[in-house]
Amino acid sequence: MINFNVPTYTDKTKQYILDVFAEKHASGDGKYTKLCHDWFKRQLNCKQALLVHSGTAALEMAAILADLKPGDEVIMPSYTFCSTANAFVLQGAVPVFIDIRPDTLNLDETKIEAAITSKTKAICCVHYAGVSCEMDTIMDIARRYNLLVIEDAAQAFDSYYKGKPLGTIGDMGCFSFHETKNIMSGEGGLFVTNNPKISDRAELIREKGTNRSKFFRGQVDKYTWVDKGSSYLPSDIIAAYLYSVLEISNNIQEKRKYIWQKYYEAFIQLQDQKKIRLPIIPTDCTNNAHMFYFLFDSLETRTDFISYLKRYDIQTPFHYIPLHSAPMGLDHCRTHGDMSITNRVSDTLVRLPIYFDMTDTDLKTTIKTILEFWEK
């Protein structure tokens, strides 16, 4: 079986997890959480980086920090994971879906302004496959209309837009360390911000609305309930796993980029023959090799492809069912304009196996089997 994804761990993972018990601190914000915070602040060059228990949790924090009133609107793509929308629905806000760009499959920045109403409070952009949205245009619109920008950077670790790390360009950034992402701790996530006002409040919200983080730093002599909040911090056991993976992040990225490049080189001929379309990376954006996908010309070809590969025990999943067509999307969200690109991409995209421990033999078998599909 060639899996679509296999979670990574390292020689140090077990040692670090056992060390958490030696430290006698297995709850949140222990030694390994601090190590991860420092690592991310350096890596992302940002003021605040807070580990949370999932990308979903980071998005929920962002939605609370956006201070939305019931009925406030947040513009986002429909071609995304449900957590992008759920976070705002939980605050009583209304996700407003707009179509995506045909090249990067990111929300189409030229369609944002027409979707803005007096209730619009934020734009939540998703960097699909780790390739940046057109951030200059999005930030310019946000400034002109006084909107917050939340980056769903769940897939965007180690990716850049005009040299800036994704997740740190808008007001808030949300990363995921789910086992399917480049950097992982099974479940896990990170909330980042450079805005000092948001940063102070983010600490409270993550700690059940208490000022416990200030207390631990000796800035107040007792801690108390001062804000809304929930429990978003992970156990230090998760942070220990994550830290062991961060230490090999360069190797992970190198390997993923190698696999991505091999796929690209093998399948460019199919694109030249107009059989498939490969990913497009605009010049201002980098590729973090989070995902390798193709687009087919029809749902039928994709269905045949997936079942062909399945016969050879190779997993090639499709991706999002558009949120605007989901029961919750129909009930709790609004759609602005034509969604034809979202609908077409949802029907025709397929993802190929890519993970750190993928062997050259499995990579070669996957490429060979895919080329054979087209020969038969």
Three-class DSSP category at 310: helix
In the complex, the smallest distance separating the C-beta of residue 118 from ligand PLP, rounded to whole angstroms, is 28
Q: Does the footprint of ligand PLP cover residue 210 (CB under 6 A)?
A: no
By DSSP bridging, strand 172-176 and strand 120-126 are unpaired
Q: Of 13, 176, 185, 316, which lies in the binding site for ligand PLP, with binding defined by CB under 6 A?
A: 176
Closer to ligand PLP at the Cβ: 56 or 210? Answer: 56
Specify the residue for token string 């010309």: 297
Q: Does the footprint of ligand PLP cover residue 13 (CB under 6 A)?
A: no
Closer to ligand PLP at the Cβ: 126 or 131? Answer: 126
Which whole-number Å values give the CA distances from 92 to 179, 209, 338, 371, in the listed order? 30, 19, 25, 48
Q: What part of residues 109-148 is at the interface with ligand PLP (CB under 6 A)? A: 126
Task: Give 147's contacts (C-beta < 8 A, 6+ positions apart).
Answer: 116, 120, 121, 122, 123, 141
Q: Of 101, 121, 178, 201, which lies in the binding site for ligand PLP, with binding defined by CB under 6 A?
A: 178
Closer to ligand PLP at the Cβ: 154 or 289? Answer: 154
d(CA 321, CA 328): 12
Q: Does the footprint of ligand PLP cover residue 83 (CB under 6 A)?
A: yes
Q: How far is CA 58 from the centre of its chain?
A: 10
Q: Of 13, 33, 132, 155, which lies in the binding site for ligand PLP, with binding defined by CB under 6 A?
A: 155
Q: Of 5, 13, 33, 54, which lies in the binding site for ligand PLP, with binding defined by CB under 6 A?
A: 54
Q: Of 84, 159, 210, 244, which lies in the binding site for ligand PLP, with binding defined by CB under 6 A?
A: 84
Q: Of 95, 189, 234, 353, which lies in the binding site for ligand PLP, with binding defined by CB under 6 A?
A: 189
Q: Does the footprint of ligand PLP cover residue 290 (CB under 6 A)?
A: no
d(CA 256, CA 349): 20
**In what helix (H) or strand (E) does residue 301 lie, and over which residues does it extend?**
helix 299-311
In the complex, the smallest distance separating the C-beta of residue 153 from ligand PLP, rounded to whole angstroms, is 8
d(CA 245, CA 242): 5
> Count of CB atoms within 10 A of residue 355's CB?
20
Task: With CB under 6 A as the rule, give the number of residues binding ligand PLP.
Answer: 14
Q: Does the footprint of ligand PLP cover residue 78 (CB under 6 A)?
A: no
Of 59, 85, 64, whose CA–CA distance to 152 is shortest? 59
In the complex, the smallest distance separating the C-beta of residue 50 from ligand PLP, rounded to whole angstroms, is 14
Residues forming the site for ligand PLP (CB under 6 A):
54-56, 80-81, 83-84, 126, 152, 154-155, 176, 178, 189
